Amino acid sequence: MQGHAPTPAEKTLDAFEAAKGFMPRDEGLALYAAAVEAGSLGLPLLEVGSYCGRSTLLLADAARRSGTVAVTVDHHRGSEEQQPGWEYHDPEVVDPELGVMDTLPTFRRTLHRAGLEDRVIAVVGRSPQVAAVWGGTLGMVFVDGGHTDEHATGDYEGWVPHLVPGGLLAIHDVFPDPADGGQAPYRIHRRALASGAFEETSVTRSLRVLRRIGQGL
């Protein structure tokens, strides 16, 4: 992109900083810039793995700027590392009646407080099931769901076919060194590049953004 990278509205950025989640500011700004670019295609921006809406705020702001919508796909029961006894577990997002993770209420509050609910279509379900019935095309796919090979591969294979040429694929938590984190996102990133159907456009810490230039997985 030419000139200065676009930045979210100040209210959005404040909400991003206040929201529960794990994406740092520099990665968030890179994601936002990619979402604005992808939004110019006039197609939905899709996020797999929303948690409590921290990164969703950025996609929603970009969608508002571009005149499109952000679609989020999450079962809102938390990924493996967010379950009780694991490193990223947060008891504040446990349903007190059922005793299971439920990030949906927090997610909705996050969007409401930022005034961005009208730019988000929240789909509550498991990514492969939603992808299997999805009929439209997408300008962006942001993969930030479960970090096992099964989940990351399912997200990649389920959603990339819906991404139009010129659309952007963003993958979070790409760690080339296993000492830094799980390898499943790294493996789908390598797969995308090896397919010849993508070119990398930006690297910001663990966030990779690729542009679709051809067919194939």
Closest to 54 in 3D by CA, of 84, 20, 24, 91: 20
Of the candidates 76, 147, 151, 172, the residue annotated as catalytic is 147
| The Cα angle at residue 134 between residues 132 and 140, in degrees rounded to 5 | 115
Q: What is the DSSP letter of 167?
A: E
| Angle between helical axes of 54-66 and 25-39 (0-180°, round to 10) | 30
Active site residue 147: yes
Q: How far is CA 103 from CA 3, 65, 82, 171, in A?
A: 37, 26, 11, 21
Which helix (DSSP H) or strand (DSSP E) does residue 49 occupy?
A: none
151: Cβ–Cβ under 8 A, 6 or more apart, which residues?
A: 79, 127, 145, 184
β-pair type (45-48, 163-171): unpaired
Structure tokens at 158: 């389920």
Contact (CB, 8 A) for 105 and 53: no
51 phi and psi angles, rounded to 5 deg? 55, -115
- Residue numbers annotated as active site: 147
